[in-house]
């Protein structure tokens, strides 16, 4: 009897094992747990295909480019990476029209499997409105999770081509470029004695919402059926379906790249008319373009040149794409009067160019700080929120002339905190309030402190302690997906690393016994191929960060971190 039972159990165990193996073969995405995926290797596999796409594109072998893009879209690594991006960004908890959000590993694994299907139906976008700085509202379309993942998947194959075709002086929504590059380039253009004196401040009216669909379908290298589904999906607002006849919806992952590719070519049009860099004609006209997304600046030698020749040329370029300049925000200004661009005020006093935070940016951050103090005074996370606002704003403006502005902001923060403390304790003396909230650290007194939820003491970040930091402009033709520029990007990372105290680097290297914190291989400080990394929660604004928080790793290991 027992022998029969044992044989029966062995037979059932073998059958269950076979069924599990068959299911795993049918669905390879679920054979491996989502949390155990090697994301570094996944990212490297995708990067290798992207580099091959760029190499084939440079040879003008467009059939090879098409085959490699199809291979990348169908690869398992790319599908995993697309789902990873959608489920880890800020909008991962925001549902689309279907109300679905992927939180569990099982749902993410299933999403990777669904991305391989060709019969995915595009649901309409959920339309919401977010406030703008001028008091108006900007429409934002929220796609479903599966639509976001599919856009992220196609973006992996589109971005290398977009970078290869992009204008050299376009800095918005591009890998490895940011607003500091645009400001640094404008400083290079306008800081000389013989620099251009007139500026055309350009702004495109409702750029994302007005792009011509026919132009997108002809010029964006994505499968026409897939692209048309995204563009014609429509949107739902107040339980009513509206069609979309033009524009690329704001909120889509691929929309910024489509907008960038729509505006690419503006620089070439200007150079063909007014001469290429280095030519005699361009030295006379001094026409140069600096663009960040749909905001751009064009320099010129005279007001008449910008108004009669440059502006009509730009309007003709935009008209082909269904766009037009905003009459309110498109201005022609003399450099001595100054102009605002990307939150900075650029003005020339005589022969000296000064770049500092704009008045609107200063008033905006002050209002944020004031509202946070008023709303979260009794919360243990108030100082965490204040430090986050201060850190973000100061890090953005630290590459320009900010010393006086930062001291003024620090004074404003002290006065606001002091007034709030006195209102909360009207019966207490000033000495009591000072001893409770303001303490001395090092050589600085009157530093606001509080305790967080765990009882740890948090201290206020002082903007005046942040020193001016020089920013090194990225080369215009650099492409992060091109292997020819690999060592250039590694040197940029290494240069940023070497700005930090050398003692911190050496102590961290000793603590890790000379090995990389990611791959475990040895690191040589003489090769200049390393990076000192701080956790995001403990990023410091000065050189006083404890070296125990940092870890050192290869530059290649840093670049392979997924969507850092």
- 519: tokens are 């791959």
Distance CA 82, CA 189 (A): 39
Q: Is the pTM of this model over 0.85?
A: no
Q: Tokens 């339980």 belong to which residue?
A: 239
- 25: tokens are 């073969």
Whole-angstrom Cα Rg for the chain: 27
Distance CA 481, CA 414 (A): 46
Which of 84, 215, 241, 226 is closest to 147 using CA atoms?
226
Q: Model confidence at 29, in pLDDT bands (50, 70, 90)?
A: very low
Q: Model confidence at 397, in pLDDT bands (50, 70, 90)?
A: very high
Which of 507, 494, 496, 491 is closest to 550 using CA atoms?
507
- 302: tokens are 């005279």
DSSP assigned state of 279: S
The SS3 of residue 554 is strand
Q: What is the mean pLDDT of residues 201-213?
A: 89
Distance CA 442, CA 388 (A): 22
> What angle is formed at CA 553 by the lines to CA 550 and CA 83, rounded to 5 degrees?
95
pLDDT, residue 516, reads 84
Distance CA 498, CA 501 (A): 7
* 271-309: pLDDT as tens digits: 999 988 888 899 999 999 999 998 999 999 999 999 999
Q: How many CA atoms lie within 13 A of 405 on its CB side?
A: 25
- 108: tokens are 């993410």
Cβ contact 380:452 at 8 Å: yes
* 489-527: pLDDT as tens digits: 877 766 665 665 566 777 777 788 888 888 878 777 665
pLDDT, residue 549, reads 67
Distance CA 286, CA 271 (A): 11
Q: What is the mean pLDDT of residues 4-17?
A: 39
* 219-237: pLDDT as tens digits: 999 988 888 888 888 888 8
Cβ contact 324:202 at 8 Å: no
Select the more confidently predicted residue: 359 or 451.
359
pLDDT, residue 248, reads 80
Distance CA 221, CA 56 (A): 15
Cβ contact 327:203 at 8 Å: no
* 304-363: pLDDT as tens digits: 999 999 999 999 999 999 999 988 889 999 999 999 999 999 999 988 999 999 999 999
Q: Tokens 């000389």 belong to which residue?
A: 192
In this structure, how many other beta carbons lie within 10 angstroms of the beta carbon of residue 311?
18
Distance CA 249, CA 492 (A): 34
Close Cβ partners of 236 (under 8 Å, ≥ 6 residues apart): 97, 124, 125, 126, 127, 242
Q: What is the mean pLDDT of residues 21-31?
A: 40
């Amino acid at each position: 009897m027992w022998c029969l039972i044992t044989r029966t159990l062995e037979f059932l165990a073998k059958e269950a094992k076979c069924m599990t193996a068959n299911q795993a073969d049918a669905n390879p995405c679920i054979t491996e747990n989502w949390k155990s995926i090697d994301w570094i290797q996944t990212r490297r596999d995708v990067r290798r295909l992207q580099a091959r796409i760029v190499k084939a594109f440079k040879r003008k072998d467009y059939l090879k480019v098409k085959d490699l893009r199809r291979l990348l879209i169908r690869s398992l690594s790319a599908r995993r990476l697309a789902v990873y991006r959608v489920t880890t960004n800020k909008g991962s908890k925001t549902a689309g029209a279907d109300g679905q959000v992927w939180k569990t590993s099982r749902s993410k694994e299933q999403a990777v499997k669904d991305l391989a299907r060709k019969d995915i139906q595009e649901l309409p976008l959920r339309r919401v409105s977010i406030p703008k700085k001028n008091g108006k509202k900007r429409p934002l379309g929220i796609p479903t999770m599966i639509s976001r993942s599919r856009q992220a998947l196609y973006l992996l194959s589109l971005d290398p081509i977009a970078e290869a075709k992009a204008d050299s002086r376009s800095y918005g929504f591009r890998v490895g470029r940011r607003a500091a590059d645009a400001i640094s380039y404008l400083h290079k253009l306008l800081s000389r004695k013989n620099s251009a004196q007139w500026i055309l401040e350009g702004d495109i009216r409702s750029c994302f919402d007005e792009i011509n669909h026919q132009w997108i379908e002809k010029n964006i290298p994505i499968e026409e059926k897939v692209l048309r589904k995204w563009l014609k999906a429509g949107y739902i607002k107040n339980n009513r379906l509206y069609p979309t006849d033009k524009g690329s919806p704001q909120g889509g992952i691929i929309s910024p790249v489509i907008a960038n590719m729509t505006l690419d070519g503006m620089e070439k049009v200007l150079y063909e008319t007014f001469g290429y860099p280095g030519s005699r004609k361009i030295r006379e006209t001094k026409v140069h373009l600096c663009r960040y997304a749909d905001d751009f600046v064009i320099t010129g030698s005279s007001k008449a040149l910008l108004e009669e020749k440059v502006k009509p040329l730009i309007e003709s370029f935009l008209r082909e794409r269904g766009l037009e300049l905003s009459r309110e925000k498109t201005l022609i200004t003399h450099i001595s009067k100054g102009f605002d661009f990307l939150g900075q005020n650029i003005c020339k006093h005589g022969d000296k160019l000064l770049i500092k935070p704009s008045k609107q940016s200063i008033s905006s951050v002050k209002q944020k700080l004031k509202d946070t103090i008023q709303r979260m005074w009794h919360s243990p996370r108030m100082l965490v929120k204040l430090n986050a606002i201060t850190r973000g704003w100061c890090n953005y403006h630290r590459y320009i002339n900010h010393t006086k502005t930062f001291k003024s902001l620090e004074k404003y923060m002290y006065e606001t905190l002091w007034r709030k403390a006195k209102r909360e304790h009207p019966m207490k003396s000033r000495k009591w309030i000072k001893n409770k909230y303001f303490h001395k650290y090092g050589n600085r007194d009157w530093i606001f402190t509080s305790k967080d939820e765990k009882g740890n003491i948090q201290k206020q970040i002082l903007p005046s302690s942040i020193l001016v930091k020089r920013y090194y402009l990225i080369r215009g033709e650099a492409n992060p997906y091109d292997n020819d520029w690999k060592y250039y990007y590694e040197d940029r990372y290494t240069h940023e690393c070497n700005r930090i105290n050398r003692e911190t680097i050496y102590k961290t290297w000793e603590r890790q016994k000379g090995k990389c914190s990611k791959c475990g291989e040895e690191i040589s400080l003489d090769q200049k191929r390393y990076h000192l990394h701080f956790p995001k929660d403990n990023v410091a604004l000065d050189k006083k960060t404890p070296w125990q928080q940092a870890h050192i790793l290869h530059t290649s290991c840093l670049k392979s971190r997924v969507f850092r």
